[in-house]
Every structure is written in C-alpha cells, then in structure tokens.
Amino acid sequence: MEKKRFLAGSMSIALAVTMFSTTAFAASVKFTDVPDSHWASSSITEMADKGIMSGIGNNLFAPSNTLTGAEFVTMIVRHFYEDKLGTEGEKWYSEFMDAAKSANILTGTNVTAEGTINRYDMAQLMYNVLKAEGINTTPLSDTSKVADWASVPSTYQDAVSVCYNMGMLSGVDNKGTFNGTGNMDRAQAAVVMNRLLEVCSGGTTSTPTVPEKPAGSLTLTKDNVLYIKGDGSKYENGVFHLYNSGFEGTGGYIQWVNNGYSTLTFTVTVFEEDHYVAVSDYGNVEVDIRLGEVLEAGTSKTYSVDITGLKNMGIGVYDGYSCNAEISNIYLS
C-alpha cells in the first residue's frame, strides 16, 4: 500500500448554469472560470457538450450566477422539446417559453422568464417532464425524511416527493430540509439537469440499497468511536450526522481504534455540495490513505475498503473547512 501524506484540500462548491444561445457546443468545452478541480466541472462540461448550456462570453461560464426561470426552461426545451421551437420572439427566451407552454410542462408552476426560479418550481418542472416522458416516478415512502415537509405547499408535494426520492433535488442540510423557496446558481442547475437526464435515461441518483451486514462484523456506533468532529456533528438513530460550519478544524470525521479488522463497509450521503471522502490511519506522521475520492452533491454511495494493518483510523468528509454529510451502516469485519 503506497504511503501518502494526507492533505485535507478544500473544495469550494459553486455550480454554474449558463446564459443560453441556440448554438450547440463542440465536445469538451472548457471555461476559464470552471477548472477541472471545480466540483461541478463534469456536469458543466457535459451540459455544454450537449448544447444544453453555454457560456456568458469571453470563455466564461459564471457558475455562481443565480438562475432565472427562462434559463432553466431553456435547458429543458433544448433537450426534450426542440421540435416545438417556433420562430424567434422579441426576447431571446420567447420561443423557449412558448415551447414549454406547448409541451404543458409549466403546469402547476409560478415560473416567470426573468425572475429567479425557486426549488419548488424546479421540482415541479422536472416532475412534469418525467410524467410527459412516461418515466416511472417513485415518491418518498416516508415524508419525514424531509425536515420541512409540513411547510411544503400541497400543490408541490407530489413533485417534491418524487424529485427528492429519485435524487434530482436533495436536502440542503443534514436534517433533510428541502428549502423550496430557495434559489439555485447556474452550476447547481447544471448538476440538477444532469441528474434529470440520468433518470430519464433509465439511471437513478437515489439512495443506494442498504448494505447487508457481514457475518461476525462489528457495527460502529457512538459507543465505540473515540471522536466525532464538527461543531454541529452528532450521532442519532444509528447515523453519524457530520456538520461543520468551518469554525472547528477541517470538515467532519469520526475516529476509532481498529482491533484487527480488515474490511470497512459504510455509506456516505452528502448534501448540496460535493465532498471529499477519505479513510486513513491517523496514527502516523505519514498517513496511510486507503480511500480518497469526491462524492457529488446530493448523492449517496456505499464503500468497502481494505483496512488491513490500520490501527488508529477514521473516516473524514470534507467540503473545504466545512462539512454537511451523513455516515451510516458502518461495519468492521
């Protein structure tokens, strides 16, 4: 196993959606304000390559600019309803808004072309597309997973339930708050659109199946860990909720003593922003890293890691100095 010095690098997370033209892009579009290290780089590049999104000029993408209703509608129409585009109107977005009305995907929304679009209306738009495309929709079986479900208007509940459960829009914090009146920036919209396309193509971004507990394994709980780090971190109902506002150290992590186990299995869920997930030995000056990868915002993943020979070890989840994630189903075998 190669020894590496652990550097807890920070990941700044801001997503970008584009100003829209009707010109498709060539493959592998690169923007000077979206380096390869940007957490949404792959989604932004894919959206640009497919002609769904474009830059704002001067080879810029403006990932942190707030998204408007016309911009998100344009993204959807470009992929799903180009056949409904007519003649150009007075505004750049006129034909796209008209196409959306023709496709009946604005039903139940309060979308305006030049106003910002909130998460409720994004959910409703995507829900309408799923229904129009004949995609099987699966709502939440337990709406208590959405911390602010009681405040979700009844007119949006079907859309929020489906989009949340199918992984297109996740909670904005470790409590599962949907925050339907909140807005998104252009980068976040690129990621959300990418998830919609994945679901429509038969994929899924929903929470993976809970891993089966290996025979003879030890379940890691608050009773057998040494530390739970993060100024808002806690253990509750079998789940480590890791939260760090950035004021206490770096990210969030749990640490324990490994007494001869060779395999670590666990599930990580991250909220809103991409996080770096690491498994390593904290007992040496040169840290032995057994896992180090970026997990995309709003997704979950189950890992199985070889921890043979590790003693003082832990799982770290980082969004720069901050963290907003959950770790569950932690088994040592």
Burial class (CB in 10 A: 0-12, 13-18, 19+), 99: buried
Q: Which CATH superfamily is domain 218-332 in?
A: Galactose-binding lectin (2.60.120.430)
At 81 the pLDDT is 95
Bridge partners (DSSP) of residue 273 are none
CA separation for the pair 151, 143 (Å, rounded) = 12
Nearest to 33 by CA among 187, 185, 192, 184: 187
The secondary structure of residue 57, as a DSSP letter, is B
Return the structure tokens found at 204: 């899924």
Return the structure tokens found at 254: 């749990």
Task: Report residue 214 CA to chain centroid gap.
Answer: 29
C-alpha dihedral over 197, 212, 223, 248, to 10 degrees?
-20
Cα 237 to Cα 70, 142, 298, 329: the distances in Å are: 42, 15, 21, 11
Bridge partners (DSSP) of residue 327 are 240, 268
CA separation for the pair 39, 58 (Å, rounded) = 22
CA separation for the pair 290, 167 (Å, rounded) = 28
* Ranges of H-type helices in the chain: 41-49, 69-80, 94-102, 119-132, 157-165, 186-200
The secondary structure of residue 185, as a DSSP letter, is B
Bridge partners (DSSP) of residue 229 are 253
Return the structure tokens found at 312: 């003082």
Return the structure tokens found at 218: 């030890």
At 27 the pLDDT is 46
Contacts of 54 (CB under 8 A, 6+ apart): 18, 19, 20, 21, 23, 25, 48
Nearest to 171 by CA among 293, 327, 69, 300: 300
Bridge partners (DSSP) of residue 324 are 243
Task: Report residue 44 CA to chain centroid gap.
Answer: 13
pLDDT by residue for the chain (333 residues), tens only, comes to 333 333 333 222 222 222 333 333 344 678 998 887 676 788 898 899 999 999 999 999 998 899 999 999 999 999 999 999 988 888 999 999 999 999 999 999 999 999 999 999 999 999 999 999 999 998 998 898 898 999 999 999 999 999 998 888 887 766 778 899 999 888 889 989 988 998 888 755 544 445 666 777 888 888 888 888 888 888 887 888 888 877 656 788 899 998 989 998 888 888 768 888 999 887 665 678 888 888 888 788 888 889 998 888 899 898 888 888 888 888 898
At 171 the pLDDT is 77
Look up residue 202 and give its amino acid: G
CA separation for the pair 232, 34 (Å, rounded) = 31
Are the C-beta atoms of residues 77 and 101 closer than 8 Å to each other?
no
Look up residue 26 and give its amino acid: A
From-to residues of CATH 2.60.120.430 in the chain? 218-332
Q: What is the pTM of this model?
A: 0.60
Are the C-beta atoms of residues 64 and 14 closer than 8 Å to each other?
yes
